[in-house]
Amino acid sequence: MPFIANTDDQRREMLATLGLSGADLFADIPDHLRCGSPDIPEGISEQQAAQRVGDLAGMNDTDLTSFLGGGFYDHYIPAAVPAIVGRSEFYTSYTPYQPEASQGTLQAIYEYQSAICRLTGMEISNASMYDGGTALYEAVMMALRITRREHVVVDRSVSVIYRTILRSYTTNLGIELDETAPDNGLPDRRAIGDILANGETAAVVVQNPNFFGCMDEFTDLAEMCHEHGALLIVSAYPIALGLLKSPGDMGADIVTGEGQSLGMPLNFGGPYLGFMATRKKHMRKMPGRIAGRTVDQNGKDCFVLTLQAREQHIRREKATSNICTNQGLCALTAIAYLSLLGKEGLRKVAQNCAEKAWYAQQELLTIPGVELRFPNRWYFNEFVLELPTRADRVIRRLLRDDIAAGFPLARYYPNMDNALMVAVTEKRTKREIDFLVHSLENAL
């Protein structure tokens, strides 16, 4: 099925127009650089492909009752979201370089940027980054540009996945990443304050709710940062922002996060959506595409890509980032999701998550020997349990009952062999939570 429209007759006609034979089309490639047919299977029909790839999909187990999170959550996706995103005028177009032919994409991006600002309490957002981790890396690079400093503090309560990405990207650059140890699950203000006192720190990076699910209030930290000329970067969970105080209200300078929860399936790791928002004064230091509102020749409101002097296709090696193709369709997904749920719907989703997680936590803590790893903290929809035995063994046992009980923190943190991180979304029912409690009790 090569998806080629020209018939053999047309090809002959076209070659005749060119005065060439078929072989001549590649005559500019030296003989020894041409290959024979690649050693891959012969093409198959659409029906055969549907069968074969359908079989592979069927080998994956998606009937599990899942309490897996870690920054990536199983939220309900309203049917109208894929109906909107599936309109091929959106998904078969590209970056809106020609605004007159791309007003749909451009206005949707502008609305997405607006929604992200309203959620995060910031003034400007870009049109998307790849994911929460690369968005955080871009935010760190941006903070270095703004402050002209080379030292960054990252608390270990920030997603370990984001921190490993950050390290991979910065190893060849002269940047000092200082990881601070949390105090019972939250960033340790005193330790961070001591480092800030040197006056060399570009930014402090924290997360809310953090990787362990703990909620925090960063107003004090923002003040500490600003006193020492540093920026506060907050990675946020957008569903939680339906209920929680925005990072902007706390004084954050740059807000990033993983947008998957805004209507995107888990997709075994992607595509996801990195979002990034900041204060207006940092606008020209921000990476990525930005849509702006202006007027056309007739004075009519319209939208364009703007502030392009920051970008790689203009500035080349002096650009704020190398990003070109971003996650346009995922940004559309997010604005469709946020519009469908609306002001009250998003608040309600967040509240359901928090309540169900609270219930799960209370019930799980009735099991003898099960405790909170970080006691006396407030949680949104994820929390870490300290089990009386190794978490990975318990997870294995519960998988036999088709429950993914959570994530074993030992995979990324030393001395956390018994720590089990449990996430609860609005999709989990009381029965499923009770089943988890029952199975966990039996497994111990």
At 131, the amino acid letter reads D
User: Which one of the spans 147-155, 196-204, 222-230, 332-340 is the region binding another protein (CB under 8 A)?
Assistant: 332-340
Choose which of 330, 384, 409, 443 interacts with another protein (CB under 8 A): 330
Q: Note the residue count of the chain.
A: 444
Choose which of 21, 197, 229, 313 interacts with another protein (CB under 8 A): 313
Closest to 353 (Cα-Cα) out of 260, 211, 238, 206: 238
Query: Residue 125 belongs to what H/E stretch?
Result: strand 124-125
Residues 283-312 that bind another protein (CB under 8 A): 283, 289-298, 300, 302-304, 306-309, 311-312
Closest approach of Cβ 199 to another protein, in Å? Answer: 25
- Rule CB under 8 A: say whether 104 interacts with another protein: yes
- Rule CB under 8 A: say whether 107 interacts with another protein: yes
Choose which of 124, 139, 152, 262 interacts with another protein (CB under 8 A): 124
- Rule CB under 8 A: say whether 95 interacts with another protein: yes
End-to-end alpha-carbon separation of the chain, Å?
55
Closest approach of Cβ 370 to another protein, in Å? Answer: 18
- Rule CB under 8 A: say whether 169 interacts with another protein: yes
Residues 218-237 that bind another protein (CB under 8 A): none
> Which residue's entry shows tokens 């304050």?
193
- Rule CB under 8 A: say whether 100 interacts with another protein: yes
Q: Which is nearer to another protein, 51 or 229 (CB)?
A: 51
Stretch 173-212: interaction string toward another protein, x if CB under 8 A: x---------------------------------------
What is the token pair recorded at 195?
A: 């480092």
Choose which of 270, 401, 417, 435 interacts with another protein (CB under 8 A): 270
Query: Rounded to an integer, what distance in angstroms lies between the CA atom of residue 333 and that of residue 327?
Result: 10
Choose which of 176, 371, 392, 417 interacts with another protein (CB under 8 A): 392
Q: Which residues of 101-114 are buried (b: 16+ CB within 10 A; e: fewer)?
A: ebeebbbbbbbbbb
Choose which of 8, 198, 317, 415 interacts with another protein (CB under 8 A): 317
Q: Residues near 42 by Cβ (< 8 Å), separated by ≥ 6?
A: none
**Beta strand pairing call for 403-404 and 382-386:** unpaired
Closest approach of Cβ 209 to another protein, in Å? Answer: 9
Asked if 156 and 179 touch (Cβ cutoff 8 Å), the reply is: yes
Query: Residue 11 belongs to what H/E stretch?
Result: helix 8-18
Stretch 17-36: interaction string toward another protein, x if CB under 8 A: xx-x-x-xxxxxxx-xxxx-
Choose which of 201, 256, 321, 439 interacts with another protein (CB under 8 A): 321
Closest approach of Cβ 185 to another protein, in Å? Answer: 14
Choose which of 128, 157, 201, 418 interacts with another protein (CB under 8 A): 128
Q: How many CA atoms lie within 13 A of 390 on its CB side?
A: 7
Task: Cite the beta strand spans of 336-433 per DSSP E.
Answer: 371-372, 382-386, 403-404, 407-408, 419-423
Asked if 198 and 224 touch (Cβ cutoff 8 Å), the reply is: no
